Amino acid sequence: MHSLCFLFALLLSALSYEPLPLLCSEWYSYHFPELVKIVADNYTYARVAQYIGNRKQLTEDKLEGLEKILLDSEKTRAIYDAARSSMGNAAVCAICLYILW
């Protein structure tokens, strides 16, 4: 069902020229809803979501690369802390990763 909704949304975005980062933030927020409050810019959000992938695999080793994307150490730490305690759904992670790549 989710994949059909995604294909429909992708088709609508192609017809209405809606940028793909908007879809990315909508779908990835099922997996990591706290990220949208930390990263407001859609393009940066898409880059961060692609870099993080599965939020459960975000380790301290990845923080340096994340900081290069964000250019803000406080946001980087906030994302790391939020990923540890996120209430997002892990089941939609496969769909999110498909969208991001």
Check which CATH number belongs to the domain holding 40 and give it. Answer: 1.10.287.4070
Give pTM, 2 decimals.
0.69
pLDDT > 90? residue 17: no
- In 10 A of CB 62, how many CB atoms? 16
User: Is there a domain that residue 11 lies in?
Assistant: no
Q: Average model confidence (pLDDT) for the chain?
A: 75
User: Is there a domain that residue 52 lies in?
Assistant: yes
Q: For residue 64, what pLDDT band results from cuts at 50, 70 and 90?
A: very high
Domain count for the chain: 1
User: Is there a domain that residue 38 lies in?
Assistant: yes
Answer with the residue of higher pLDDT: 8 or 66: 66
User: Is there a domain that residue 14 lies in?
Assistant: no
Q: Which domain holds residue 71?
A: 19-100
pLDDT > 60? residue 33: yes
User: Is there a domain that residue 10 lies in?
Assistant: no
User: Is there a domain that residue 47 lies in?
Assistant: yes
Note the pLDDT of residue 78.
Answer: 92
Note the pLDDT of residue 68.
Answer: 92
Residues in the chain: 101
Q: For residue 53, what pLDDT band results from cuts at 50, 70 and 90?
A: confident
For 31-51, the DSSP string reads: H-TTHHHH---HHHHHHHHHH
